[in-house]
Amino acid sequence: MLYSDNQLIGPNSFFFGVFRSKRGLLSLDGEKLKQEVFEAEKILAAWFSSTIFLALYLYNRREISGDYGRIKIGDMANFPCIDPSLVSGHNRQCIITEFEAIMRGDLPTIYDQLKTKKLQKLDKAILKAIGIKDFAMLLDNMYADLRHELDITEIIEEEIP
């Protein structure tokens, strides 16, 4: 998961971010403001943990030094990202509820997540929040395409001597 209530030290290959609203930059006083910031952080973590982001990652990845699947920091700046401040109250709560449910459970491998559609409720909540209404076929096709892409990547890796 890309969200933790605990302070963590990031190893060399991971990046950590903290969300602060414009109001939060001025002051973190008050429980309401703190709650707003924590909710925004969870929405961002949900986005980066979603199958939607995985699809963007696989689509935009590049080969660097023979490793196909790397992303440069500059690449991340061009990725679309959900803006937590634009997510309405109901959609905000749906995303947070689904994300917290995932945080409490065991998460299988990415391939098994796609096969079992483990993140489907989270993906639906995110798609609703960004205004995509007819998403059933979109998700089914995305899961199938991602499984296929992972299969191809696995075959390519096996063929490399």
Q: Tens of pLDDT along 38-95? A: 888 889 889 988 999 888 888 877 766 655 566 677 777 778 889 898 998 899 999 9
**How many structural domains does the chain have?**
1
3-class secondary structure, 23 = helix
- Please state the pTM of the whole predicted model: 0.74
Entry field: residues in the chain: 161
Q: Classify residue 12: in a domain, yes or no.
A: no
Cβ atoms within 10 Å of 124's Cβ, excluding its own: 17
pLDDT at residue 138 is higher than 80: yes
Is residue 15 assigned to a domain? no
Look up residue 68 and give its DSSP letter: E
Domain extent for 60: 22-159
In 3D space, the residue among 32, 86, 40 whose CA is nearest the CA of residue 48 turns out to be 40
**10 within domain boundaries:** no
What are 144's two structure tokens? 């199938």
Residue 13 placed within a domain: no
Whether 3 maps to a domain, the answer reads no
Give tens-digit pLDDT for 66-78: 555 666 777 777 7
